[in-house]
């Protein structure tokens, strides 16, 4: 039944049908190739972003590990020198450590004994009553803390708390320091530059942004 009908079609219709079928096959092939190309380029871009994120994360880990060791040495020196040396040398300790701003001396109960550099306009340490800080004070070990409270956009990357031993090894309080991505105009963490579709951010444990590669 179909053969007579096909034979009855004009030559023009048959040629048009053949061209249309060829175009459909050709466009389908190009569509499949385009989709595969887009998928491959997307995967390459994602792998590149992942490598950049891993490098940035390693730099943050290295900074925290290094500064934790430095703060621990400073705490040992303070414990060995006594209360008088703390007052005399606290500015020198802040300057020598370099990565922390500020450095805070806390009692065993979390009372702020001194802060360097001193805070103008508002006495004390703004994180003294933070829930995560208070929890770390009860562990009597070196802790890396992400503050829980809202700091109005001025969030440190981390806060390190190191316990101090007093005479005969009894607890004598803590030495705490806030770490940021830069200090005194010097970058401490290298984030991938914001260009094109690349945007880098450091997010704390609460999901809040503590640093970004570009404003906005």
Cα pseudo-dihedral 83, 85, 90, 95, rounded to 10: -150
Check whether 192 has a pLDDT greater than 90.
Answer: no
Q: What is the pLDDT of residue 169?
A: 67
What are the pLDDT digits (tens) for 70-99?
A: 888 888 877 776 656 666 677 777 777 777
What percent of the chain is modeled with pLDDT above 90? 4
Q: What percent of the chain has pLDDT over 70?
A: 77
Going from the C-alpha of 9 to that of each of 5, 82, 182, the distances in angstroms are: 7, 107, 79
State whether residue 150 is helix, strand or coil. Answer: coil
What is each CA distance from 1 to 9, 10, 11, 13, 203, in whole angstroms?
14, 17, 19, 19, 71
Using the predicted structure, report yes or no on whether residue 198 has a pLDDT greater than 80.
no
- Label residue 2 by pLDDT band (50, 70, 90): very low
Q: Model confidence over 128-158: pLDDT tens digits?
A: 888 888 999 888 888 998 887 666 657 788 8
**SS3 at position 215:** coil
Phi, psi (deg, nearest 5) at residue 104: -130, 135
Of 193, 194, 204, give the one whose Cα is nearest residue 157.
204
Query: How far apart, in whole angstroms, are the C-alpha atoms of residue 112 and residue 173?
Result: 10
Alpha-carbon distance of 79 to 114, in angstroms, equals 15
User: Rounded to 10 degrees, what is the CA torsion of 128, 57, 187, 199?
Assistant: -110
pLDDT for the residue 116: 83
**Pairwise CA distance, residues 140 & 162, whole Å:** 8
pLDDT tens digits for range 25-83: 777 777 877 788 787 777 777 888 888 888 888 888 888 888 888 888 888 877 776 65
Q: What is the mean pLDDT of residues 159-177?
A: 83
Check whether 203 has a pLDDT greater than 60. Answer: yes
pTM above 0.85, yes or no: no
């Amino acid at each position: 039944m179909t053969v007579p009908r096909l034979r009855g079609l004009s030559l023009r219709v048959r040629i048009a049908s053949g061209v249309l079928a060829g175009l459909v096959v050709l466009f389908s092939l190009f569509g499949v190739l385009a989709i595969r190309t887009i998928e491959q380029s997307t995967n390459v871009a994602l792998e590149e972003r992942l490598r950049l994120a891993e490098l940035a994360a390693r730099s943050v880990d290295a900074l925290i590990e290094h500064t934790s060791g430095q703060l621990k040495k400073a705490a040992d020196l303070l414990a060995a020198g006594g209360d008088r040396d703390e007052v005399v040398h606290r500015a020198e300790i802040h300057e020598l450590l370099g990565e922390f701003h500020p450095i805070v001396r806390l009692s065993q109960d979390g009372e702020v004994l001194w802060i360097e550099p001193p805070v103008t306009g508002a006495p004390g340490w703004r994180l003294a009553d933070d829930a995560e800080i208070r929890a770390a004070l009860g562990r009597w070990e070196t802790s890396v803390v992400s503050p829980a409270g809202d700091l109005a956009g001025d969030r440190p990357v981390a806060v390190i708390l190191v316990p101090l031993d007093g005479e005969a090894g009894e607890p004598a309080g803590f030495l705490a320091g806030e770490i940021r991505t830069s200090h005194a105009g010097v970058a401490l963490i290298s984030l991938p530059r914001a260009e094109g579709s690349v945007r880098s951010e450091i997010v704390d444990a609460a999901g809040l942004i503590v640093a970004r590669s570009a404003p906005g």
